Amino acid sequence: MPGKRARRKLTKKNQRKRRRQKQAKERDKLEEEAESQRLLQPEYQKWVQKQREMEEFQRLAEERELQDAEELWLRREAIAQRQFRMDEAKRRQEQEEVERLQREQAKERAERQEIQRKQREEEIRKSAKAAAEFDAMMESMNEYLNNPRLEKPPSHLLRVMETHPEERPCEFFSRTNCCRYGHACTFNHRRPMLARILLIRHFFNHSMLQEKPPHKEYASAEEHLELTEQDLRSDYDEFFDDAVEELEKFGTIVNFRTVRNTLEHLRGHVFVEYTSERSALRAFTNLQGRYYASKRLNVEFSNLKTWRGAVCGLSLTRKCPKGNGCGYLHLFRNPNNLFNTNLEYTTTPKGERPASQTPKAKTPSWDDHNEHGRNWRWSESPEVELENHNNLGNSIKNSNNRQVLKNSKSRRDRDSRRSNRSEASKRNRSSSESSQDDHRSNRRHQ
């Protein structure tokens, strides 16, 4: 049954195909007959001839356009090829220039590396030489300190270091041993290797010496809430007692001058003058690497010749128009006017100084503990100071009454030490003046 249906369907399909073919042939035949009849007409022949001419013209126009487009493309290609050759030549030139610059840079880099290598070798050589000189200097310093038979220091300790020997001396540094430009100054700074005067830079630190404008929030604060000159005076007296108590361990102090200028290169400097270079050297070696109030000390020797050229004369009468921003020294007044001797009176040769001014006690050490205990501000590192400060705060919280008694006792001890220092200072001043008068009288007789 399915086979018959498929055959019947195929037969119908073939019949339809034959009918379409027959119709197509009849249509083509009719079209040919109609075309042959139209060709016999003169008007149709003219139309056909015209169509042929138009087709030919269209073909020629298309060929001309194609030829013009090809010629335009060839011209563009020639221009592009010429531009490409120019760009290629320029690229090669730039590449050659880059390679030349790279070669020059490599050569310069090699020369610079060679110079840096030589500089490193020179620095290593200089550092080794400086280390050897430093070791030799420290050995000579220790020998000079530990050998009391050496009356005069070695000659190499009496040298003067210069920053720019070919330049003229810096006027401010020569007068005050301080310069606002520091190591960047183009003039010559002369520093002694050994002297009787020590300069401890930024030793005394206080908020009233800071050169900062007041904050807007606190600009309109009441006056009794701000720090006053009396607070600064009280803090300096406490600092004076702390510093002198330690510095007197190394020898007899002649002068103790603290700078109260607010300029950065002068703020809080302390000049300490001893009776001999040995005492100053002992203090210098013991103060190296020490901390005061968690701040490391910067100690050096000073070749200050006179206070007259360093101190601002108008500061003594408080009439300096620049105030504490002056470039010359403004000094604190020491309690009871202690250690305030004219520098000119203590510049006599060492052989003419009284022998009693040289301390003969054993060399003090930072490890020694007195009966009252070491001052909490002096420490070998800031960590120790912080620990002591925390312990001090805990002890204050736990025993307020005991702390009040301790403060009263330390105040009485401080007053007694001040009176003793005042009497010793007067005796030293009188002895130095008498020795100066004897020296002057001897010179007159000669």
Is 243 a residue whose pLDDT tops 80?
yes
pLDDT at residue 98 in the model: 94
Q: Is 128 among the domain residues? A: no
> What is the pLDDT at residue 372?
42
Residue 6 lies in a domain: no
Please name the residue ranges forming H helices in 356-399: 382-398
Q: Pick from 198-202, 293-297, 326-330 the range whose average pLDDT is largest.
A: 198-202
Range of the domain at 307: 194-209+229-445
In sequence order, the 6+-apart residues with CB closer than 8 A to the CB of 75 are none
Region of poorest pLDDT, from 277-286, 332-341, 379-388: 379-388
How far apart are alpha carbons 193 and 300 in whole angstroms?
9
- Answer yes or no: is pLDDT of 347 > 70: no
Q: What's the pLDDT score for residue 441?
A: 46
Angle at 358 between CA 197 and CA 192, to 5 degrees: 25
Question: 344 lies in a domain?
Answer: yes
- Give the residue with greater pLDDT, 365 vs 233: 233
How many separate domains does the chain show?
Answer: 1
151 Cβ contact partners less than 8 Å away, ≥ 6 residues apart: 350, 351
Give the pLDDT of residue 428.
57
Q: What confidence tier does 273 reach under pLDDT thresholds 50, 70, 90?
A: very high
Q: Which residues pair with 299 in a beta bridge?
A: 200
Q: Is residue 284 part of a domain?
A: yes
Asked whether residue 342 carries a pLDDT value surpassing 60, the answer given is: yes
Q: Which residues contact 401 (CB under 8 A, 6 or more apart)?
A: none
pLDDT tier at 391 (50, 70, 90 boundaries)? low
- Taking the C-alpha atoms of residue 273 and residue 282, their distance in angstroms, rounded to an integer, is 12
Residue 334 domain-assigned (yes or no): yes
Q: pLDDT digit string (tens) for 15-61?
A: 999 999 999 999 998 888 888 888 788 888 888 889 999 999 999 99
Q: Per the domain annotation, does 47 fall within a domain?
A: no
Structural domain includes residue 384: yes
pLDDT of 303 strictly over 80? yes
pLDDT of residue 146: 81
Question: Mean pLDDT across the stretch 156-185?
Answer: 87
Predicted confidence at residue 318, as pLDDT, reads: 77
The pLDDT of residue 362 is 42
Is 309 among the domain residues?
Answer: yes
* pLDDT band, residue 161 (cuts 50/70/90): confident
Of the spans 50-54, 211-215, 220-224, which averages the highest pLDDT? 50-54
> Which residues lie across from 66 on neighbouring strands?
none
Mean pLDDT of 281-306: 88
Q: Which of 111-125, 135-149, 219-233 has the lowest mean pLDDT?
A: 219-233
**Position 431 confidence tier, pLDDT thresholds 50, 70, 90:** low
In the chain, the percentage of residues whose pLDDT exceeds 70 is: 73
Q: Which residues, at least 6 apart from 194, have a Cβ–Cβ distance to it below 8 Å?
A: 153, 157, 158, 277, 280, 281, 301
- Average confidence score pLDDT of the chain: 78
247 pLDDT tier (thresholds 50, 70, 90): very high
What's residue 355's pLDDT?
43
In 3D, which of 260, 284, 287 has the Cα closest to residue 274?
A: 284
Q: Which of 357 and 248 is assigned the larger pLDDT?
A: 248
Higher pLDDT, 280 or 130: 280
Alpha-carbon dihedral of residues 251, 256, 259, 260, nearest 10 degrees? 120
Q: Which of 11-15, 26-30, 224-228, 331-335 has the lowest mean pLDDT?
A: 224-228
pLDDT tens for each residue of 413-424: 666 666 666 666
Higher pLDDT, 161 or 92: 92
Mean pLDDT on 396-410: 51
Q: Report the percent of the chain where pLDDT is more than 90.
A: 30
Task: Kindly indicate the confidence band of residue 358, based on its pLDDT and cuts at 50, 70 and 90.
Answer: very low
CATH of the domain at 247: 3.30.70.330
Cβ neighbours for 302, distance < 8 A, ≥ 6 positions apart: 177, 192, 195, 197, 198, 199, 271
